[in-house]
């Protein structure tokens, strides 16, 4: 007992260094855990790349007005990829760790819960950047797409914003979806939502009624923000898309907080 | 509430040199925990003193895991209090002094054992050196393997290693030897004894009675959320019907039942089994009365019998 106060005085002076190391390791191992899990990394990186090779590269000479379709699709599949990384990495990953009892063991340890969420969020951002980088290389080398350095930087910035935004949805799904059904349920939400928001096929080629539904989908606002980097956005204002994405993020975080508090009360 | 049997210890682990009266480091005081309509714990009290190994024994659904989760601050009691090192177990500062081994179905499989240990060590202000963890939890040959490549017993050793990462003063082990073969189980028992020699306090739940008997200074038997009995392993055993005499004899069951202290007489073919509280006097009388008595054996009751008697009577 007598050693305890001593431990804390020495710990508080090096507390910041310890926190930094803790957050760093949590993030590093979260990233390697997912990168080495082939079922995750191959699917999450492979699907957008495969789709882009099939649909994007095929349209390298096609333009619709001043819209280069291969470049438009780069934006769409970039969004498709980064949303998938966030929903599968966090939604499915966290649900599985919760079901296996691993999360409970971590909660019994002094790990700060924020470190766990931070690591998951940064890992989603990292996978988003990997996916967008691979797609960009394919687009530039095989799709005849020209990107200015400024456009590339803004794309990567948008990837970070989008990954953080959809991380909030992953967090909510992880809490309400049973682990053994998680990847099925995530697919049921993710795939139709991507299609209806014009991430696979340019939205102006979709049936008119689908185009009218799109503004209620967060992926639509993300896609329009990404496309605005190339000047390909629709008529709605950029501010409205930012509002849509931010509102969606707030809604997801708020619901996650409610669900979490409710489960704490029942525990 | 606080048990009085701590001073009189039996068994191998009587290694303490501290003052005889010690404040408990962890207590559950009159806690009740409900899940919907089911009552998991019903006014349960438990106190752990420094340096002791306490085994929480009980049938499935008795409330062992609930008690463990309360002490680890994973859940809060409906009534009553849980205190660890004098504060709330949910306090992060308290958690740095507690190590836990829970029933985890699966750790992330694409991380190596050394990476899991490295990560858990980073959670604590003064972690145990990695070499120490490897030595105590016997992770030598598997330190660089992926978790997915380990056998059931090896996985349990990794979980045990994770519980040691913070060099905790209190270690809580929930069914620690599940999935281990007998050799690995005895290895882990030895490691738990080594921890106690370093002054650690251990709370363990188990459904292996042999494990509680081999390790614990004190056994707390719980059933339906209440403490049914507590004491040293020998006290728990003797709280049952007494010791058993078995022999070949021509004495009749009717006669044997009249001897003082005899609780029960059973006949199994030619073997007669007498359960009695004062076996010595009973045996002396039986030998006097039957010079041809043979195949005499006297056995202490197994912990299992006492346990079954304690938990089934309720």
> A42-76 pLDDT, tens per residue?
999 999 999 999 999 888 888 888 889 999 999 99
**A114 close to B (CB below 8 A):** no
Q: Are B95 and B137 in contact (CB under 8 A)?
A: no
Sign of the dihedral defined by the CA atoms of residues B1, B4, B10, B14, in that order: positive
* pLDDT over 70 at A235, yes or no: yes
What does the angle CA A39 – CA A41 – CA A46 come to, to the nearest 5 degrees? 95
Cβ contacts of B111 on chain A, cutoff 8 Å = 29, 32-33, 36
What pLDDT is attached to residue B273? 87
The more confident residue out of B104 and B306 is B104
Q: Give me the percent of chain A exceeding a pLDDT of 90.
A: 78
**Mutation to test the A interface, candidates B77, B125, B148, most A Cβ within 10 Å:** B125
Q: What is the mean pLDDT of residues B181-186?
A: 85
* Ranges of CATH 3.30.70 domains, chain B: 243-301
Q: What is the mean pLDDT of residues A179-195?
A: 94
Q: How far apart are the first and last CA of chain B?
A: 21
What pLDDT is attached to residue A224? 95
Residue numbers of A between 10 and 69 with CB closer than 8 Å to B: 10-11, 14-15, 18, 21-22, 25-26, 29, 32-34, 36-37
* pLDDT over 90 at A123, yes or no: yes
- What's the CA gap between B120 and B95, in Å, rounded? 13
* pLDDT over 80 at B115, yes or no: yes
CB contact under 8 A, A105 and B124: no
B243-301: CATH, from 3.30.1490, 3.30.1370, 3.20.20, 3.30.70: 3.30.70
What pLDDT is attached to residue A254? 95
A176-182 long-range contacts, CB within 8 A, separation 24+: A176/A259, A177/A91, A177/A95, A178/A95, A178/A99, A179/A95, A179/A96, A179/A98, A179/A99, A179/A100, A180/A99, A182/A91, A182/A92, A182/A95, A182/A96
* pLDDT over 70 at B114, yes or no: yes
**A4 close to B (CB below 8 A):** yes
Cβ contacts of B75 on chain A, cutoff 8 Å = 267
**A267 close to B (CB below 8 A):** yes
pTM of the model: 0.82
CB contact under 8 A, B110 and A18: no
Confidence of residue B185 (pLDDT cuts 50, 70, 90): confident
Q: Are B157 and B139 in contact (CB under 8 A)?
A: yes
Q: What is the mean pLDDT of residues B118-132?
A: 95
Residue entry with tokens 């029933």: B103
Q: What is the mean pLDDT of residues A194-198?
A: 93
* Ranges of CATH 3.40.50.300 domains, chain B: 26-238
Cβ contacts of A25 on chain B, cutoff 8 Å = 118-119, 122
- What's the CA gap between A94 and A97, in Å, rounded? 5
* pLDDT over 50 at B8, yes or no: no
What's the pLDDT tens digit per position in B69-82? 999 999 999 999 99
Q: Are B256 and B283 in contact (CB under 8 A)?
A: no
What pLDDT is attached to residue A13? 53
Q: Helix (H, G, I), strand (E, B), or coil: what is residue B295?
A: strand
Cβ contacts of B109 on chain A, cutoff 8 Å = 37
Among the ranges given (A98-107, B167-176, B274-283), the one the predictor scored with the smallest mean pLDDT:
B274-283
A263 to A94, A105, A109, A198, A253: CA distances (angstroms): 15, 17, 19, 36, 15
**A5 close to B (CB below 8 A):** no
What pLDDT is attached to residue A96? 93
Nearest CA to B164 among B216, B111, B120?
A: B120
What pLDDT is attached to residue B170? 96
B26-238: CATH, from 3.40.50.300, 3.60.60.10, 3.50.50.60, 3.40.50.920: 3.40.50.300
What pLDDT is attached to residue A15? 81
ipTM: 0.87
């Amino acid at each position: 007992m007598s050693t305890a106060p001593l431990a804390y005085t020495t710990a508080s002076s090096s507390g910041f260094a310890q926190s930094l190391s803790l957050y760093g390791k949590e993030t590093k191992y979260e990233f390697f855990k997912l990168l080495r899990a082939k079922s995750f990394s191959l699917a999450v990186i492979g699907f957008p790349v495969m789709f882009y090779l099939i649909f994007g590269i095929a349209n390298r000479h096609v333009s619709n007005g001043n819209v280069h379709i291969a470049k438009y699709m780069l934006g769409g599949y970039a969004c498709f990829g980064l949303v998938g990384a966030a929903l599968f990495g966090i939604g499915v990953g966290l649900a599985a760790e919760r079901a296996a009892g691993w999360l409970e063991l971590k909660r019994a340890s002094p790990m700060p819960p924020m470190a766990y969420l931070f690591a998951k969020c940064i890992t989603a951002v990292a996978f988003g950047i990997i996916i967008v980088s691979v797609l960009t290389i394919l687009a530039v080398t095989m799709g005849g797409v020209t990107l200015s350095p400024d456009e590339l930087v803004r794309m990567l910035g948008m990837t970070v914003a989008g990954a953080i935004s959809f991380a909030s949805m992953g967090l909510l799904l992880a809490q309400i979806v049973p682990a053994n059904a998680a990847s099925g349920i995530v697919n049921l939400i993710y795939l139709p939502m991507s299609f209806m928001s014009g991430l696979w096929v340019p939205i102006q080629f979709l049936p008119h009624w689908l185009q009218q539904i799109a503004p209620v989908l967060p992926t639509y606002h993300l896609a329009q923000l990404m496309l605005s980097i190339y000047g390909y956005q629709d008529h709605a204002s950029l501010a409205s898309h930012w509002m849509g994405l931010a509102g969606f993020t707030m809604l997801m975080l708020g619901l996650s907080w409610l669900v979490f508090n409710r489960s704490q009360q029942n525990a | 509430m606080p048990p009085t049997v701590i001073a009189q210890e039996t068994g191998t682990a009587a290694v303490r040199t501290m003052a005889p009266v010690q404040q408990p480091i962890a207590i559950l005081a009159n806690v009740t925990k409900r899940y919907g309509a089911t009552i998991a714990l019903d006014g349960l009290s438990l106190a752990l003193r420094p340096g002791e190994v306490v085994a929480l024994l009980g049938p499935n659904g008795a409330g062992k895991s609930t008690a463990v989760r309360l002490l680890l601050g994973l859940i809060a009691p409906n009534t009553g209090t849980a205190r660890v090192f004098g504060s709330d177990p949910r306090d992060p500062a308290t958690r740095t002094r507690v190590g836990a081994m829970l029933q985890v179905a699966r750790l992330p499989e694409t991380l190596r054992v050394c990476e899991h240990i490295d990560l858990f060590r980073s959670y604590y202000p003064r972690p145990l050196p990695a070499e120490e963890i490897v030595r105590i939890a016997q992770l030598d040959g598997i330190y660089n393997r992926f978790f997915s490549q380990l056998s059931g017993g090896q996985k349990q050793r990794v979980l045990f290693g994770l519980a040691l990462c913070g060099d905790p003063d209190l270690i809580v082990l929930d069914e620690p030897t599940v999935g281990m073969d007998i050799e690995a189980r005895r290895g882990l028992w030895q490691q738990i004894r080594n921890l106690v020699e370093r002054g650690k306090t251990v709370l363990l739940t188990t459904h292996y009675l042999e494990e509680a008997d081999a390790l614990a200074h004190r056994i707390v038997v719980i059933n339906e959320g209440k403490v049914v009995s507590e004491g040293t392993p020998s006290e728990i055993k003797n709280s049952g019907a007494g010791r058993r005499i078995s022999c070949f004899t021509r004495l009749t069951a009717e006669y044997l039942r009249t001897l003082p202290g005899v609780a029960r007489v059973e006949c199994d073919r030619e073997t007669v089994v007498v359960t009695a509280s004062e076996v010595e006097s009973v045996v002396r009388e039986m030998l006097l009365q039957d010079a041809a008595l043979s195949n005499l054996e006297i056995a202490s009751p197994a912990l299992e019998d006492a346990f079954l008697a304690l938990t089934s009577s309720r």
